[in-house]
Amino acid sequence: MIQEISSKYFSLFEKTPEVKVQAPGRINIIGEHTDYNLGFVLPAAINKYTFFAIGKNGAKTATIYSADYDESRKLDINIPKVKSSGWMKYMESMMIGLQEEGYKIGGFNLVFGGNIPIGAGLSSSAALTCGLYYALSELFDLGISKEKIAKMAQASEHRVGLNCGLMDQYAVTFSKKDHCLFLDCRNLKYKFFPAVLDGYTIVLLDTCITHELTDSGYNDRRNDVESVVELVKKKYPEVQSARDLTKEILGTLSDQIDPIKLKRAHFVINENTRVINTCEALSENDLVSMGKNMNQSHHGLSKMYEVSCKELDFLADFAHKDKNVLGARMMGGGFGGCTINIVKKGYEEEFISKASQAYKTAFNIVLKSYQVDLGKGLGRV
Ligand code: GLA
C-alpha cells in the first residue's frame, strides 16, 4: 500500500518523497472512557495503517492529496484558525498546533491514505494526526519527542471539538507488535502485556453506523463525570479526578449527586477495576476471565455510561450467547463503530457469517468485519 501512496506522490509531484511514515489504527481490549478520567486503558495497535509520503516544496503552502477521498487541497501552513470540515480540519488544527508550540516548517507536498476504516472507532484520526506530526518532525528536523507528538495530536482533536483523552495517541505512537499497552493515564507510564490469545483471535464487527464523536454525547459524558469530581472534591480534596473516586466516597454523597451522573461515575470506578483485572488475567493466560471482564465492560458502557447504540448492543448480545466467543464489547468512543470479539481460532468465518445474517435481518445493514493482528506503533517505512 505504501507503494501506491509513493507512486501517487511521484505522479503528482514528479519527485520521490523525502520521508515515508506509517501510523497504525488501534483496538482497545478494555478500559473505555477511562483515559480522560485519568484511569487505566489497555489498547493495542493493529495491522491497518495510514501511510504518508511527504517532501518539501519550497513554498508557503502545502499541497495535500487524500488517497482515501481522492481529493486534493491547498493548506496555508500559517492558518490562524480551523475553518474546514472533514479531513482538512485536522490538517488546519495541526498547523495551529505547530505555531502554538513554536515549531517552524516550510511548505510541503503530501499524499496520505491507507486501510483504517474511517469512523469505525479504530482511531483513524489519531493515526492521521500522530502520523503527520511525526512525518513533519522528520522532514523538517523538528526533533519533536514521541510523547509530545501524542500530546500535540490530542490537542488537535480538542481544537476541532473532541475533548478526548490520550489513549488513542499513545496506542498509535508507542505500541509494540503482539502486545497490548497498559497505560496509566495519570502519569502516562506504560508497560506492555504480551497478547498471547492461545487458540483465540480478535474479530471486529463493524456496525457501519459511523460516528462523528464531536456530534455525540462524548463531551457530555466527560462533563458529567468531571462535575461529580468537582462536587466530591469539596468534601474529599484528595479526589483530583474520577480515578480517585471510590464507591464508599460516592456513597457518602449520593443524595447530593444527580443519579445519572452518579451512574456514570460508578461506571468509571468499575471499568478501571476491570482493566486491572484483565491485566492480571492476561498475565496468567486466563482468557476466560479476560472475556468476562469485557462482557461486563459492554454492559456498563451500554447501561451505565450509555454510549452504546442498538446496533452495538445487538452485536454484543449476539456474541455473548455464543460459547465460542470468550468476550465481546463495544469499542472506542461508542455511538456506533465496532465491537471487539475474542473468537475461537477456526470459528471466525462461521461467527462472522452468523452475525452478518442476524444483523442483516435485524437492521437491513450489511455488516463489515475485520480480523486484525496486533501491530507496532508509528514509524518511518
Ligand atoms: C475515543 C477517544 C479516546 C477514548 C475513547 C473511549 O476513542 O478518542 O480518548 O476516550 O473514545 O475510551
Phi/psi for 187 (5° steps) reads -100, 0
State the greatest distance between any 2 C-alpha atoms of the chain, in Å, as a whole number.
68
Distance of alpha carbon 101 from alpha carbon 360, whole angstroms: 49
- Residue 370 makes CB contacts below 8 A (sequence gap 6+) with 48, 117, 203, 204, 206, 338
Is the C-beta atom of 165 inside 6 A of ligand 1?
A: yes
d(CA 137, CA 132): 8
Q: Rounded to the nearest 5°, which phi and psi values hold at 31?
A: 105, 70
The contacts of residue 278 (CB under 8 Å, 6+ apart) are 29, 30, 42, 289, 290, 293, 294
Query: All 3 cell numbers of residue 58?
Result: 519550497
**Run of H or E including 192:** strand 189-194
User: Taking a C-beta distance cutoff of 8 angstroms, is the pair 144, 86 a contact?
Assistant: no
Confirm or reject: Cβ of 271 under 6 Å from ligand 1.
no
Q: State the amino acid at position 169 in one-letter form.
A: Q
Per-domain residue ranges for the chain?
Answer: 2-195
34, 128, 164, 275: which to mutate for ligand 1, most atoms within 8 A of CB? 164
Q: How far is the CA of 370 from the centre of ligand 1 (A)?
A: 20
The strand pair at 189-194 and 179-184 is best described as antiparallel
Global pTM? Answer: 0.97
Residue 32 Cα: closest atom of ligand 1 = 12
- Catalytic machinery residues: 168
CATH topology for the 2-195 domain: Ribosomal Protein S5; domain 2 (3.30.230)
Q: Are 53 and 289 in contact (CB under 8 A)?
A: no
Q: 10 Å Cβ neighbour count for 39?
A: 26
Q: How confident is the prediction along the chain (381 residues), in pLDDT tens digits per residue? A: 899 999 999 999 999 999 999 999 999 999 999 999 999 999 999 999 999 999 999 999 999 999 999 999 999 999 999 999 999 999 999 999 999 999 999 999 999 999 999 989 999 999 999 999 999 999 999 999 999 999 999 999 999 999 999 999 999 999 999 999 999 999 999 999 998 899 999 999 999 998 777 778 999 999 999 999 999 999 999 999 999 999 999 999 999 999 999 999 999 999 999 999 999 999 999 999 999 999 999 999 999 999 999 999 999 999 999 999 999 999 999 999 999 999 999 999 999 999 999 999 999 999 999 999 999 999 999
φ, ψ at 76 (rounded to 5°):
-80, 115
Closest atom of ligand 1 relative to the 218 alpha carbon: 11
Quote the strand ranges of 115-225, DSSP E: 179-184, 189-194, 200-206
Type of residue found at 199: G
Amino acid present at 19 = V
